[in-house]
Amino acid sequence: MSGVGGFTLVVYTDAHGRYTSVNSLNFQKEPHGLDRLLTRIKQLSQKGQATLVIDNGDSIQGMPLVDLYQPESGLEHPVNQLHQALGVEVFVPGNHEFNFGLAGLELIRAHSNAHWLSANIIKRASGKTYFRPYQIFQKGGLRVGVLGLITEFVPRWEHESQIPGLDFLPIVAQAKRWVPEIKAQCDLLVVSYHGGTAKDPLTGDTLCYDARENEGLELIEQVPGIDLLLCGHQHRRQIWQSPQGALLVQAGNYGRCWAEIEVTGQPGAWHLAAKLVQAQDFEPDPSLCEIFEPEMLRVRALMEEPLGTAEPDFAITDPLTQVWTQKHPMIQWINQLIQERTGAPIVCTSLLDAGLPGLPPLVHLKDLIANYFFQDNLCVVEVTGEVLILALEQVASFFILNGKTIEVNPEWGSDRIRSYNYDIFDGIEYSFDLTRPIGTRLTELTYAGKPIQPLDRLKVGLTTYRAQGAFYQMFSGEQIIEEFPEKITELMVNSIRSLGHLKITPVQNFHILY
């Protein structure tokens, strides 16, 4: 590195448990994982380069290595082992960190060596930040201030019982509060934000339904003094130099890449040079697999336990024809489990990803987790017929017509189809006419053979994620009348163990007309 001083800032985000190149779901080697980042960090260290390593959140959910962690095992949580190996100095919790509840998160933090930062998570009782808002580092002759922020939408996805006594405040206001204080103490001000941008800064394309979920551009436009903005949450890759002077970096997901920002020069005359680095260009460092070996052995034994069998039609090869436009047996099965547990006459679920394979003939725990990987709890909401009508119109916007061909609306995801937001209902009969404009496509909606009226009162069983208004603003936490502690995956495991064999005839209660 040239200049009087300098260092390399390394950031990764949204790892979702992909800590090593060995996938803890199928135990196959993949061309990505944070063990490859360890190789790179050791290279930088051997060159004598100072580093600041930041984990921008959503690290402890998404793969069995972290999802199946049990404190009573006596093993250290994998994320703490990861942070220690990589030399992570800053951890900015993401929304998925709260899937396991505050108590579980505190067990991890108690043994962490990293600085956990978030300026907009506030203790309701005292008005003080729950985590430290920022930290100042000395790196390469520069004073570096790092401010942590998280999307304010967490309470839309997690019920109060998961985040008791906490408020997630709007990020721009909190940044305006803290940035001047930090700026007075540092040469370089970095904001590490577990959130993204509502629009693509290069094309102007809309990227999310509600701009408040991803306010990276608002931070740059409305908060003077930010030199470097690190974003995540959206699983995007991007480097963008803003007109305001701040550099915006998004470093992808799943350990497939990370960002390196070289900071050279001296106070008052430093320079930033950012690049995205592909994990596949580096060999994995075997020491990380060795660290995780005891936990991987425990997880593998759980994952490969046979649970039962399933009919061939539980497989999925084409979600458009098998799942989204007609009822699939796996969707029917999950909806039945929700009905049985909640007692709600109307229920809904979704296919969490367009690439999911469904279930094989011999079903193991790994197969269930592969198809339902979110840590969702269930609840019952009481809503009006009008709310249900609005929700179904939103569901119907998933499709567009290209001539006579049904396609997925690109507004539901150009990089990744947001299948997890396409809800499929049971307990009602409904029809969509795709030749009609979005917002007017619901042509039939009945319950118990009678048309549902706007003022009808209805009970619906669904996930707390959806009930809090995620992607469906007509739902809200105030509508929840009952909650259930079990995860959907728990219900699936218990069901197949009890039944032994899954054979379900789907109820074709919805119809797509075009």
pLDDT of residue 210: 81
- Closest by CA to 56, choosing from 282, 274, 257, 271, is 257
Consecutive H or E run containing 365: helix 365-371
Burial environment of residue 295 by CB neighbours within 10 A (0 to 12, 13 to 18, 19 or more) = buried
Residues pairing with 230 in the sheet: 192, 249
Nearest to 280 by CA among 309, 252, 316, 312: 252
- Number of CB atoms found within 10 A of residue 138's CB: 12
Pairing of strands 269-278, 257-266: antiparallel
C-beta separation of 5 from 142 below 8 A:
yes
For position 2, what pLDDT does the model report?
Answer: 38
pLDDT of residue 4: 57
Task: Round to whole Å and give the CA distance between 110 and 98.
Answer: 15
**Residues linked to residue 322 through DSSP beta bridges, in sequence order:** none
User: What is the value of pTM for the model shown?
Assistant: 0.88
CB half-sphere exposure, 142, CA atoms < 13 A: 31
DSSP state of 168: E
Return per-residue pLDDT of the chain as tens, 514 residues: 334 579 999 999 999 999 999 999 999 999 999 999 999 999 999 999 999 999 999 999 999 999 999 998 889 999 999 999 999 999 999 999 999 899 999 999 999 999 999 999 999 999 999 999 999 999 999 999 999 999 999 988 887 888 999 999 999 999 999 999 999 999 999 999 999 999 999 999 888 878 899 999 999 999 999 999 999 999 999 999 999 999 999 999 999 999 999 999 888 788 999 999 999 999 999 999 999 999 999 999 999 999 999 999 999 999 999 999 999 999 999 999 999 999 999 999 999 999 999 999 999 999 999 999 998 889 999 999 999 999 999 999 999 999 999 999 999 986 689 999 999 999 999 999 999 999 999 999 999 999 999 999 999 999 998 998 888 999 998 999 999 988 899 999 999 999 999 999 999 999 999 9
Contacts of 110 (CB under 8 A, 6+ apart): none
Cβ neighbours for 243, distance < 8 A, ≥ 6 positions apart: none
Q: At what angle do helices 78-86 and 286-303 cross, to 10 degrees?
A: 170
Domain boundaries, the chain: 5-300, 308-513
Contacts of residue 307, Cβ cutoff 8 Å, sequence gap at least 6: 363, 364, 365, 368, 493, 496, 497
CA-closest candidate to residue 50, choices 3, 15, 13: 3
Phi-psi region of 46 (alpha: psi -120 to 50; beta: other; left: phi over 0): alpha
DSSP one-letter string for 213-253: G-BHHHHHHH-TT--EEEE-SS--EEEEE-TTS-EEEEE-S
- In 3D space, the residue among 106, 112, 20 whose CA is nearest the CA of residue 65 turns out to be 20
Q: Three-state DSSP class for 178?
A: helix
Whole-angstrom distance, CA of residue 256 vs CA of residue 294: 24
Please, are residues 227 and 189 in contact by the beta-carbon 8 Å criterion? Answer: yes
Taking CB atoms within 8 Å and a gap of at least 24, the contacts of 23-26 are 23/63, 24/63, 24/64, 24/65, 24/296, 24/299, 24/300, 24/303, 25/63, 25/64, 25/303, 25/366, 25/369, 25/370, 26/366, 26/370
Residue 469's pLDDT is what?
86
Across 413-491, where does the E strand assignment appear?
424-426, 429-433, 442-447, 450-451, 457-463, 480-487
Taking Cα atoms as reference points, which of 229, 154, 243, 158 lies closest to residue 196? 229
Q: Is the CATH number 3.60.21.10 carried by domain 5-300?
A: yes
Pick the CATH number of 308-513 from 3.30.420.40, 3.90.780.10, 3.50.50.60, 3.40.630.40: 3.90.780.10
> How far apart are alpha carbons 346 and 335 in whole angstroms?
9
Q: Distance between CA 229 and CA 382 in Å, rounded? A: 41
- Between CA 336 and CA 421, with CA 491 as vertex, the angle to 5 degrees is 65
User: Mind spelling out the 3-state secondary structure of 371-428?
Assistant: HCCCCCEEEEEEEEHHHHHHHHHHHHCCEEEECCEEEECHHHCCCCCCHHHCCEEECC
Residue type, 181: E
Q: Which residue has the tokens 């319950």?
A: 447
